Amino acid sequence: MAEDQSVNADRWTREAKAILENLGWVSSIADLNIDVPGEDGQMHGIDGLFSYSDGYTDREEGVFFEAKSYLTTSFNPKKISDWVYTLDKKIRNLRNSPDFHEQFPQIKKTHPRNGLLAIWFRDAEKFINIRQALSQARQDAQVLRGRGLSNRLFVISNDEILRLTSLIDAINSWKESNKTHSDSFSFIYPSLSNSYHPMRTMPILNLELLNSSFVLARGIEQKDKYGSEDVLIVFYFGRLDQPSFKILHTCLLRLNLYESGKQLYIYHYQRDDENFRKIKPAVEGLFSEMQGSFKYMNAPQDVPAWVKNAGAKQ
Amino acid sequence: MLDNYQYPSQYELQEVLGEICSRRFLNSFAQQKGIFVSKSDQQELAEMLSFMFFQYSELEEIRRAALSVNLKDTLAGFRVLLGNPFDLIKLLDEHRNKIVDDKNDMKMGAILAPKTNEGLEYYTGEISYVKRQPGKVQFLQGDERSFEYYVKRVKSTEWEILVKCTRPYDVRVVENWLEPTLRRENQQVDIQKIDQDQLTTEQTIEFFDELGSKGAGDRWRLVQVKKLTLRREQPEQEEDEVKEAPSNELSGITQAILEGTELRNNPFVRQCEKGGYRFTSMTYEYHHKSTPFVQIIRAEFKKKPKVFEISLDDYKKRTGKEEKLETEAISEASKFDIHTIFWHEAKLIYDRLRR
């Protein structure tokens, strides 16, 4: 299985960078595609280093980024385990490496325990052929066990990447229709029962929410010429059935986000138009106290133009 | 889905994922979503996941894994040896319709006499209880369970109790109540069960070897070993490593059992033994010698809870010239017969190995 090391690989790296930057991640701590010295005395190649401010913990997370660009026809499931293992070892060698810290002092300010492996299959219309095999390969992959420093590793591919671009498009669409208050948009990090942090809102999506089935956000909308109002926004990637919406409803209640009279937008990624039409009245009834309304998110087959444009730039 | 099913709190999610679900499930669940945490214990991974938001189908997956829903019943059991003659049936009848354990609301149903016209020797009883999870996790509450159990008098100082388990833990419920209850009756109590910890690795292999050839009784012949599961303890890890024998090794294993050559001499078995693996379960296919029926039966040493159980995984009939296998309905009584024959053979083999 041959990764196209030249144009396509670099392009995908730039495209992925654009997606992550749109989610509030910062890549300024290092250039892309660099070799860095590890604790083992060896040089390790990484495609990028990012950081973001975590809304739950209010600390900086450091992320080692690997970009892979392939065709579905050259997909080998066994590679997933190798890549995960290699990325983990790489982080292990770098995160406490004095040479690495000297070269990139900003890394000291972060918790450099994260790896993100973004695999993009360029023949996206054929991704359906390998979706099941990829899912199985992720389940079968092995990571280092035992005691020691733990690393968090995330593997995303076409499905997750397209969800992220759709999320960004939905956010931009909301901002476009709320130009006066477009800067008010932020993701919600609720105060959760088992942790001791307050609720925070920020325009940065952390790794946990990046992989969640729904994401909560807020913004301010101009109500009329006299005033504005706070709105609750849910970006929902789950199934469109009644039990799923009931659970979402109870989640909003539990998190004290469900406020009578407040505007609620539920942007949904799944389509299933026929079945959703049948249950929509009942589901709207669930959220009626909050003036709930449903909006579509894009369901793209390929990354949008703004991503491709970012990839084309040198 | 329960009507009062609410989105779980972060505490509940972390508790369920970290303390109740198996590590194997947790890894699989996380990795399906592309999430890996290296060198982590279960709690760490659970904590990370508890900061995520899940849709209903994912919560149901977690909930079912935690409740270990097992819709297929199995048979497990034990013998109770007492110091003095004792009427166990009378004791069970005295507790009829009473809650006998507050911790789990364990309630004894009536104990029914054997139906002698069907040739059954077992008294039948029913027990219900509530499986409580630590921390009173609302997300998992409401798991009420009930099961049937069967009691046979072997002799005045020995009773056999077999449990039709809907979940492996059911047999432990009976055991955990019966032993102290009998002691309170001033009885010396010895619970005898099929316990893998009392067998060496070699004996475990011999156990499954003999069980294969004799387990189903004289009227059935072993045709093949369909599955073999092995386990190896890993001191550094929280859970044992579990693997299945590859299908290309199973024919050699079947041959060894059929020919009566020691299974330990099979190269794959020898390799596993050297690698520190122990047999943990075997699934056998038997064909009836004079009718077209086929039974697929599994014998398993479970670790959590520690239980030996028998399960009729499938029952089929050979039909047509090509002897196609088609699933056949089987009565509960016939299933019980198959289970008990197998369990008794297993107990005989186990007792002989322990002597």
Per-residue pLDDT of chain A (314 residues; tens, 9 = 90+): 455 567 888 899 999 999 999 999 998 665 667 787 788 878 888 888 999 999 999 899 999 999 999 999 998 988 999 999 999 999 999 998 888 888 888 888 899 999 999 999 999 999 999 998 999 899 889 888 877 889 999 999 999 999 999 999 999 999 999 999 999 999 999 998 767 789 999 999 999 999 999 999 999 998 887 789 999 999 999 999 889 999 999 999 999 999 999 999 999 999 877 888 888 899 999 998 988 899 999 989 999 999 999 988 75
Q: Which residues contact B326 (CB under 8 A, 6 or more apart)?
A: B316, B317, B319
| Residue in A closest to B25 by C-alpha | A139
Q: Which residues from chain B sit within 8 angstroms of residue A241, using beta carbons?
A: 56
Q: How far is B35 from chain A (nearest CA, A)?
A: 5
Strand B158-165 versus strand B144-155 pairing type: antiparallel
Nearest of A71, A66, A61, A163 to residue A114 by alpha carbon: A61
Beta strands A60-70; A111-121: pairing state? parallel
Of A153, A194, A161, A202, the C-alpha closest to A53 is A202
Task: Report yes or no: A39 and A88 within 8 Å, Cβ to Cβ.
Answer: no
Residue in B9, B6, B16 with CA at minimum distance from that of residue B46: B16
3-state secondary structure B260-282: CCCHHHCHHHHHHHHCCCEEEEE
Considering the entire predicted model, what is its pTM?
0.65
Q: Give the 3-state secondary structure of residue A20.
A: helix
Quick check: A193 and B38 CB within 8 A? no
> Residue B326: beta bridge partners?
B317
Task: Decide if B5 and A215 are in contact by the 8 Å CB cutoff.
Answer: no
**Which residues 35-64 of chain B have a CB within 8 Å of chain A?**
35-40, 44, 47-48, 50-59
CA-based nearest residue in chain B for residue A236: B55
d(C-alpha B275, C-alpha A303), whole Å: 49
Report DSSP state, residue A129. Answer: G
| Peptide linkage before B305 cis (omega within 30 of 0) | yes
Tokens 């059954």 identify what position? B120
Q: Which residue has the higher pLDDT, B157 or B67?
A: B157
Q: Which two tokens stand for residue A198?
A: 């307050």
